[in-house]
Amino acid sequence: MRRALPWLAAAAYFAGTVAWLARDPRVAKEVFDEDSIHNTGGPGSSLAYGYLRRRLGADRVRELTRPLERSGVAPDAVVFRLGPEPAGRTFLDTHQEDFARGGGRLVLALEEGDYGDLEVGSRDAGEIEKVAPVWPGVERIVAKGQHVLSGPALSRGQAVLVRGDDIFAARFPMGEGEVLVFASPVIFRNAGLAEGDHLALLSALAGTGRPVYFDEAAHGLASEIGPVEILRDWGLGPLVALAALTGTILFWRRASRVGLPDHGPGETRTEAVELVDSLAGLYHRALSPQDALRLHRKNLEREVATAFGLSGAALEAKMRELLTGPAPSQAPPSGKKSRPRRARGRRAFRHELDRMNQAYRMIEDAKCR
């Protein structure tokens, strides 16, 4: 238990840190980028996101964390992309154009910078006025700063909001959809959403019967496509489900026994008592005592060579050392009656066998040291 105390303390410290960060309101205000729906501070757009979810329903207003071409959004969806950084030679890429031509509405609120064929800059201009008959109820737009749009791309669009002689917001019709570009995202931020008719503008852009997405990939919250999405895009989901079902059935089928159990495999070890007994009888009938001793000695030589790593003369010397002892007597001691030759042969066989077995025991003792 004492050994586990440091690990338990570390786990408790980690859990407490995560819980504290989750409840700290400064995290949502300072960690996320400006114009992110997760930023609850003044520069964030969490109020716009929450307002549309309350007005249109949580199932229709979502965040987008994947590139538009791989997101799977509906063709007629409305996508808000607030505050993207300047990138590329044009303010629109081919995927965004394809989305708009297919019936989608893309709302871009750009930061100050050069977007290739479109530029967002600051100039001395007047108040923002609406010059196009769109967005009923939207008359007063208040945007801090003097940001306006300029560039050759405006020749393809229509001015909707102007500042004097400059354009603040433009509409680019494309196919069945459109792209709306604003010169500043401040009108959608938490600090400025309550000013003027910004809420009415937000509602008019979102519409009433279209799914709405806030693109968070521009703020570094993009997520990679996982294996499940890849299988779904390739239409392999049913095949994987069928393979999983088949594997489950096979596993269950093999785990359930049908009929009486089979007898286990027979004993194959050479140490089995029955096998040793049968081999002993076979050797007794097939080999003479001298042949059996020669085989036993050859096995002893292999064991000595393996155990001590010897060969040649060194091996012979080690064999003589292990087999030292009185040689079996070929003649009876003086004063004793001579035994039959057969009895003397059995006695010599037993004596030689004992010496070799003793050598085996000496080898085992040497291995244990």
Asked if pLDDT for residue 75 goes beyond 50, the answer is yes
Q: Among 56-60, 84-88, 170-174, 345-349, which is the least confidently predicted range?
A: 84-88
The per-residue pLDDT for range 4-20, each reduced to its tens digit, is 566 666 767 666 665 55
The per-residue pLDDT for range 239-294, each reduced to its tens digit, is 778 888 888 887 777 766 666 666 666 655 555 667 777 877 887 788 888 888 88
The two three-digit tokens of residue 298, written as one number = 């050859």
Residue 221's pLDDT band (cuts 50, 70, 90) = low
Q: What is the pLDDT of residue 368?
A: 73
Q: What is the pLDDT of residue 330?
A: 46
Q: What is the pLDDT of residue 204?
A: 95
**Whole-number average pLDDT of the chain:** 80
Q: What is the pLDDT of residue 83?
A: 83
37 or 237, greater pLDDT? 37
Q: What is the pLDDT of residue 18?
A: 53
Q: pTM of the predicted model, to two decimals? A: 0.55
- Phi and psi angles of residue 217, each rounded to the nearest 5 degrees, phi first: -65, -30
Q: What is the pLDDT of residue 364?
A: 84
Q: Of the candidates 105, 50, 98, 103, which has an alpha carbon nearest to the alpha carbon of residue 78?
A: 105
Q: Whole-angstrom Cα distance, residue 151 to residue 115?
A: 9
342 or 353, greater pLDDT? 353
Q: Within 10 Å of residue 49's Cβ, how many Cβ atoms?
A: 24
256 or 350, greater pLDDT? 350
The β-bridge partners of 347 are none
Kindly list the domain boundaries of the chain, sorted by start residue. Answer: 15-231, 273-368
The per-residue pLDDT for range 155-198, each reduced to its tens digit, is 999 999 999 889 999 999 999 999 999 999 999 999 989 999 99
Contact between 181 and 172 under an 8 Å Cβ cutoff? The reply is yes
Q: What is the pLDDT of residue 319?
A: 87
Alpha helices in 207-286 (DSSP H): 227-234, 237-255, 273-286
Q: Of the candidates 110, 363, 116, 121, which has an alpha carbon nearest to the alpha carbon of residue 215?
A: 110
Q: Whole-angstrom Cα distance, residue 244 to residue 229?
A: 17
Q: What is the pLDDT of residue 30?
A: 45
Q: What is the pLDDT of residue 28?
A: 42
186 or 230, greater pLDDT? 186
What does the pLDDT average to over 295-323? 87
Asked if pLDDT for residue 1 goes beyond 50, the answer is no
Q: Whole-angstrom Cα distance, residue 279 to residue 271?
A: 11
Q: What is the pLDDT of residue 265?
A: 62
Q: Whole-angstrom Cα distance, residue 75 to residue 104?
A: 5
Q: What is the pLDDT of residue 234?
A: 62
Longest dimension (CA), the chain: 146
Q: What is the pLDDT of residue 232?
A: 64
Q: Among 66-70, 145-149, 265-269, 340-344, which is the least confidently predicted range?
A: 265-269
